[in-house]
Protein backbone atom coordinates (compact mmCIF):
# COMPACT_ATOMS: atom_id res chain seq x y z
CA UNK A 1 0.00 0.00 0.00
CA UNK A 2 2.82 2.39 0.85
CA UNK A 3 4.40 1.75 -2.56
CA UNK A 4 1.10 2.57 -4.28
CA UNK A 5 0.79 5.85 -2.37
CA UNK A 6 4.39 6.77 -3.21
CA UNK A 7 3.80 5.97 -6.89
CA UNK A 8 0.69 8.17 -6.90
CA UNK A 9 2.58 11.06 -5.35
CA UNK A 10 5.81 10.74 -7.34
CA UNK A 11 4.58 9.77 -10.81
CA UNK A 12 3.08 12.43 -13.07
CA UNK A 13 -0.11 11.41 -14.88
CA UNK A 14 0.05 10.37 -18.51
CA UNK A 15 -1.24 13.21 -20.69
CA UNK A 16 -4.74 12.34 -21.93
CA UNK A 17 -3.82 13.01 -25.57
CA UNK A 18 -1.18 10.26 -25.30
CA UNK A 19 -3.84 7.78 -24.19
CA UNK A 20 -6.39 8.90 -26.77
CA UNK A 21 -5.12 10.71 -29.86
CA UNK A 22 -8.55 12.26 -30.50
CA UNK A 23 -8.16 14.47 -27.42
CA UNK A 24 -6.79 17.84 -28.57
CA UNK A 25 -3.63 19.17 -26.93
CA UNK A 26 -5.34 22.22 -25.33
CA UNK A 27 -7.95 19.97 -23.71
CA UNK A 28 -5.24 17.58 -22.54
CA UNK A 29 -3.33 20.49 -20.99
CA UNK A 30 -6.47 21.66 -19.19
CA UNK A 31 -7.11 18.19 -17.78
CA UNK A 32 -3.52 17.91 -16.57
CA UNK A 33 -3.83 21.26 -14.81
CA UNK A 34 -7.03 20.04 -13.13
CA UNK A 35 -5.16 16.91 -11.99
CA UNK A 36 -2.01 18.70 -10.79
CA UNK A 37 -0.63 17.16 -7.62
CA UNK A 38 0.53 20.50 -6.24
CA UNK A 39 -2.45 22.69 -5.28
CA UNK A 40 -0.62 25.83 -6.42
CA UNK A 41 -0.41 24.38 -9.94
CA UNK A 42 -4.17 23.80 -10.13
CA UNK A 43 -6.82 26.36 -11.00
CA UNK A 44 -7.40 28.75 -8.15
CA UNK A 45 -10.95 29.59 -9.20
CA UNK A 46 -13.74 28.58 -11.53
CA UNK A 47 -12.99 31.74 -13.53
CA UNK A 48 -9.60 30.34 -14.52
CA UNK A 49 -11.18 27.10 -15.71
CA UNK A 50 -13.83 29.05 -17.62
CA UNK A 51 -11.19 31.18 -19.34
CA UNK A 52 -9.17 28.13 -20.41
CA UNK A 53 -12.29 26.29 -21.58
CA UNK A 54 -13.18 29.30 -23.73
CA UNK A 55 -9.61 29.35 -25.08
CA UNK A 56 -9.92 25.62 -25.91
CA UNK A 57 -13.21 26.21 -27.70
CA UNK A 58 -11.73 29.01 -29.81
CA UNK A 59 -8.61 26.97 -30.61
CA UNK A 60 -10.69 23.96 -31.63
CA UNK A 61 -13.03 26.09 -33.75
CA UNK A 62 -10.05 27.62 -35.57
CA UNK A 63 -8.49 24.20 -36.04
CA UNK A 64 -11.78 22.85 -37.42
CA UNK A 65 -11.97 25.77 -39.90
CA UNK A 66 -8.36 25.15 -40.97
CA UNK A 67 -9.12 21.55 -41.94
The 10s digit of each residue's pLDDT in 44-61 is 999 999 999 999 999 888
Q: Band of the pLDDT at 67, cuts 50, 70, 90? A: low
Q: Residue 38: which domain range?
A: 2-66
| pLDDT score at 17 | 97
Instruction: Count the domains in the chain.
Output: 1
Burial status of residue 1 (CB atoms within 10 A of its CB: 0-12, 13-18, 19 or more): exposed
Question: Are the CB atoms for 56 and 26 separated by under 8 Å?
Answer: yes
| pLDDT score at 15 | 97
Taking 90 as the threshold, does the pLDDT of residue 64 lie above it?
no
Taking 70 as the threshold, does the pLDDT of residue 5 lie above it?
yes
| pLDDT score at 4 | 87
Buried b (16+ CB within 10 A) or exposed e, 9-32: eeeeeeebbeeeeeeeebbbbbeb
Burial status of residue 2 (CB atoms within 10 A of its CB: 0-12, 13-18, 19 or more): exposed
Amino acid sequence: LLELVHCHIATPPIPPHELNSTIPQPVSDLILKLMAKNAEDRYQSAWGIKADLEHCAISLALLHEWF
